[in-house]
Amino acid sequence: MRIALHCAAVGLGAVFLSACGSNVCDTSEAFDPSSKVGDCSVEVPARVLGSKSSCNGALGSCSDADKKILEGIMSCWDALPVCASGDQAAWVDQSNGCYDGAANLSESCRNAFFGDGIPGGQEDGGTDAGVIDAGPQPDTDGGGALDLVLTANESSIAMAWVKSQEGVVDHWEVHPLNAADIAEPVATVTPGEKLFYEEAVSAGVKKKYFVVGFNAAGEVATGSFPMEEMDAGTDAGMCNGPLDCPPEQVCNLGACQELPCTDSNVCPGGYVCDLQTDHRCERIFGFGDGGVDGGTSDAGVQDKTPRPFISELGQISTPQTAAYSADRVVSAFPSLNVDLEAVDTARQFMILEQEGQIFGYFTEDRGKTWRTIPVDPIGTHPKVVYEPQSRTMFACYNAFGGVRVRSSSDFGKTWKPAALDLVNPPSDDGGIGDAIQGCAMAPWQEGQILLTAVDGDRVVLWTVNKDLTLTMPDPEVVFTSTESQFAPKELDLATLPSDFIVHVLFTFSRPTTTSPDTEIADYYRDPGTGGFVYKPVHNQNGFDQSQPTVVVDPVTKRAVAAFTSNESTGGPKRDTIYLSFWTPSKVWATGSDLNIFAKNSLGTEYVNFPERKPGEDWIARSPSLAASKDGKIVLAFAAGEMVSTQPSLQVWSIPFSFDAQNVIIPAIKGYYAADASLVSPTRVVKPASQDTGGPVIAADEQISFYYGFVEGVGAMGDVANRPVIVSFPK
């Protein structure tokens, strides 16, 4: 069990107060909304949740779940930037978005706090049923066992629903109503395990929906008992975290064990390798003091009355222009090495490191509230991937000198006790074998993923099944170091299972006349031979390349990659990002025209990045790619202007399309489809060594993209603080 952080280390503003034991009313009282007004002409409340006395009076009408939503509203206000007059409309949208979660409050709590209407004109999620034809009716009193979550962009409405009780559903009916509350044709969703739906509509359309689940007999299905809220941590055993073990032992899934080592890279966070005597990982003195208590996934006492699978009436309008959501703080505690997976409009999962342990955070309401999921008391550099055909989520991370793999069959809410450890046997002389480290994963066939990692001087690949068995005991060797290509690291993996396409990208070193530099290799699985073929990804400017990321477009079946390098400008060496794409002739195409900071022929403007002005000194790094099911490809990255020799980084995003005309070389297609846009005003942490604060990007099975990163605080932005998620559309 982790120990609560001292208050001074928790965070800022409202989140600081909440983490120190005060209730949300204390937080609201201490927070002054006018501090966010800046030079804008906007009205803000004196206090977000009213005066302290009225807030405390209203709080008695709220459940624990309601209080989490109210805390989310305060966290959102805390994260708002100061309004600038030129961005007033966007700021108003962001501040109104802070109240999105209010529609999910219980009726008693919502009326107590927002009886005169939710600020920003938010609808209450639908108890006004309007004119509905005879037949199933929406839930109007909170008695249904179904929660409906909606979002929309300019051309689609997407929804997902969440069961609050267990029960078998044969099929679902989605009941739409138009702006005049006239019922439209019902849509049937099968099988019953599918929990989402979307509809193509034009911009500016207002609609309402409710969802009903039916059994095989055509009757409304009813839940039988509450969804089990299992302890998602380790099995009952000797330990739950590092402080439960002696200093010379680590906590390994419930058991205190010694961990042999040859260097400290094998040891979990907070441990170093004793190289003088015992050659084992030993805990650093004082590690864990002031740690965070992530708790468990305990959902509290639940109503055991069987309820029908019927949702309330939800309302949504398609925007003229889709926008990013406000920052949604995932956890109040400092984090590193985040990764993100998205299932649908409602469900997302973030995995990360906190105090040398692996934790997950799970949401079923599009990031408005988060549940803490302990994954492993040891481990570093976690990754997560979702295999949609079997609805299985996999996590991998460095642990015990190898790579550990775990799985979840409920979208990450709980993790199965068993673990697959990919480790090398001891060497012939009884010493420690080469460490297997640095995993990357991608979905494969139903119930399977591909997992790649560095094994000594090799890059290897396994096929892992959802029951954590391997299809073959020995991995497939993708790459073996040579004198001219060695030291592989920074792996990424992309697949298109339907066409058996596999791309394994990584950074390798090569000798030069002065010192080794690094380049990007792609090993592409040849569909004819089944073997891997080397395809260079790097550009030709002679600078180091690193941080590769890759994705396969499911529509064109072509891959897109991005990596960090330097500009060929003759000026200071500054990190920038290059994009590269797979051509029909099965080679990678890249160049200075695909630099994020590419200039026009006159050198007077940055064609993809108008926010950067000539003469300004910027950098870009940490690229991450995602592709939606309909072929939208989006690159996320950290970028910012150099200030006193240090960059101030924020999250940016830019779309790519194989159909977009290259503005530098007009005869070529395959280019950025729009200008780069700012995802969040919050700074991204700039950690040292191999750690990262993101950003990472994920696409769900519907229309949304999600951006995850760690907030950077301190004068240089190099102190890791809270993990944050932003959704698009909001």
The residue among 78, 92, 68, 99 whose CA lies nearest residue 31 is 78
Q: Is the pLDDT of residue 492 over 90?
A: yes
The confidence score (pLDDT) of residue 474 equals: 93
Enclosing H/E stretch for 619? strand 618-627
Return the HEC string of 373-438: EEEECCCEEEEEEEECCCCEEEEEEEECCEEEEEEECCCCCCCCCCCEEECCCCCCCCCCCCCEEE
Residue corresponding to tokens 């702006």: 179
Q: For the residues 76-104, what does the mean pLDDT come to?
A: 84
Structure confidence at residue 431 as a pLDDT band (50, 70, 90)? low
Tell me the one-letter amino acid at 246: P
Tell me if 325 sits within 8 A of 705, measured CB to CB.
no
**Is residue 205 helix, strand or coil?**
coil
Q: What is the 3-state secondary structure (H, E, C) of 242-310?
A: HHHCCCCCEEECCEEECCECCCHHHCCCCEEECCCCCCEEEECCCCCCCCCCCCCCCCCCCCCCCCECE
Q: Are 541 and 599 in contact (CB under 8 A)?
A: no
Asked if residue 447 lies in contact with residue 465, where contact means CB atoms within 8 angstroms, the answer is: yes
Categorize the per-residue pLDDT at 241 as very low, low, confident or very high, splitting at 50, 70 and 90: confident
Cα–Cα distance, 264 to 4 (Å, whole number): 26
Distance in angstroms (rounded) separating the CA atoms of residues 699 and 709: 15
505-563 pLDDT, tens digit per residue, is: 999 998 876 667 889 999 999 888 889 999 999 766 678 889 999 999 999 999 999 99
| 229-238, 597-606, 698-707, range with the lowest pLDDT | 229-238
- The lowest-confidence range among 96-110, 297-311, 435-449, 563-577 is 297-311
Of the chain, the percentage scoring pLDDT greater than 90 comes to 57
Please state the rounded mean pLDDT for residues 67-76. Answer: 89
Is the distance from CB of 158 to CB of 150 less than 8 angstroms? yes
- What are the phi and psi torsion angles at 410 (to 5°)? -130, 45
Residue predicted with more confidence, 700 or 262: 700
CA atoms of 510 and 149, how far apart (whole Å): 50
pLDDT of residue 101: 80
pLDDT at 420: 96
The secondary structure of the chain in percent helix, strand, coil, rounded to multiples of 5, reads 10, 40, 50
Per-residue pLDDT at 254: 77
Instruction: Tell me the C-alpha distance between 554 and 728, whole Å.
Output: 20
State phi, psi for 343 to the nearest 5 degrees: -95, -55
Orientation of helix 107-114 relative to helix 52-59, angle to 10°: 170
- H-run or E-run covering 479: strand 476-480
Single-letter amino acid, residue 417: P
**Residue 124: pLDDT above 80?**
no
120: pLDDT confidence band, cut at 50, 70 and 90?
A: low
Helices (H) and strands (E) in the chain, counts: 6, 41
Answer yes or no: are the C-beta atoms of 186 and 174 closer than 8 Å: yes
For residue 33, CA distances in Å to 43, 80, 196 come to: 10, 10, 37
Alpha carbon distance 479, 524 (integer Å):
11
Taking 90 as the threshold, does the pLDDT of residue 309 lie above it?
yes
pLDDT value, residue 234: 39
Instruction: Name, in order, each residue with C-beta under 8 angstroms of 272's C-beta and a sequence gap of 6 or more.
Output: 264, 281, 282, 284
Query: What is the amino acid identity at position 163?
Result: K
The answer to whether the CB of 311 falls within 8 A of the CB of 121 is: no
Q: Is 724 left (phi over 0), alpha (psi -120 to 50) or beta?
A: beta
Alpha-carbon span 710 to 385, nearest angstrom: 19
Task: Name the residue ranges covered by the structural domains of the chain.
Answer: 7-121, 125-233+304-322
Report CA 359 to chain centroid distance, whole Å. Answer: 13
With bands split at pLDDT 50, 70 and 90, how would you rate the model's confidence at 658? very high
CATH superfamily of 125-233+304-322: Immunoglobulins (2.60.40.10)
Q: Which residues contact 548 (CB under 8 A, 6 or more apart)?
A: 490, 492, 505, 506, 507, 520, 537, 561, 562, 563
The pLDDT value given to residue 267: 79
Nearest to 8 by CA among 719, 723, 684: 719
Secondary structure letter of residue 176 according to DSSP: E
Question: At residue 313, does pLDDT exceed 80?
Answer: yes
Q: Tokens representing 423?
A: 């480790």
Q: How far apart are CA 102 and CA 110, in angstroms?
A: 7
Band the pLDDT of 629: cuts 50, 70, 90.
very high
Q: Say yes or no to pLDDT of 235 above 70.
A: no
Residue 1 pLDDT exceeds 70: no
> How confident is the model over 440-459, as a mean pLDDT?
97
Token pair 């929804």 in the structure block, residue: 159
**pLDDT at 60 > cutoff 50:** yes
pLDDT of residue 299: 43
Question: Which residue type does 696 have?
Answer: V
User: pLDDT category, 577, cuts 50, 70, 90?
Assistant: very high
For residue 30, report the phi and psi dihedrals to the nearest 5 degrees: -80, -15
235: Cβ–Cβ under 8 A, 6 or more apart, which residues?
253, 254, 417
pLDDT exceeds cutoff 90 at 462: yes
Strand partners, 159: 150, 197
Q: Reply yes or no on whether the pLDDT at 635 is more than 60.
A: yes
Of the candidates 284, 207, 286, the residue with the CA atom closest to the CA atom of residue 248: 284
Give me the mean pLDDT over the 353-378 stretch: 93
- What pLDDT is stored for residue 298 in this prediction? 44
Q: What is the mean pLDDT of the chain?
A: 86
Q: Percent of the chain, pLDDT > 70? A: 87
How far is Cα 398 from Cα 266, in angstroms, rounded to an integer? 8
Q: Which two tokens stand for residue 179?
A: 């702006």
Under the banding of pLDDT at 50, 70 and 90, the label for residue 227 is low
User: Residue 291 pLDDT more than 70?
Assistant: no
Closest of 397, 426, 398 to residue 264, by C-alpha: 398
> If pLDDT is split at 50, 70 and 90, which confidence band does 302 have?
low
Q: Identify the pLDDT of residue 90.
A: 77
pLDDT of 243 reads 79
The pLDDT of residue 66 is above 70: yes
pLDDT higher than threshold 50 for residue 165: yes
Helix (H, G, I), strand (E, B) or coil at 535: strand
The reported pLDDT for the residue numbered 580 is 96
Q: Among residues 239, 211, 235, which one has the least CA distance to residue 149?
A: 211
Distance CA 112, CA 115 (A): 6
Predicted local distance difference test score (pLDDT) of residue 572: 61
- DSSP readout, 438-471? EEEEEE-STTEEEEEEEETTEEEEEEEETTS-BS
- Whole-angstrom Cα distance, residue 377 to residue 354? 10
58 by DSSP, 3-state: which? helix
| Across 342-354, average pLDDT | 97
Q: How confident is the model at residue 40 (pLDDT cuts 50, 70, 90)?
A: confident
Place of tokens 């222009």: 321
Q: Which residues of 222-255 are buried (b: 16+ CB within 10 A; e: fewer)?
A: bbeebbeeeebbbeeeebbbbbbbeeebbbbbbe
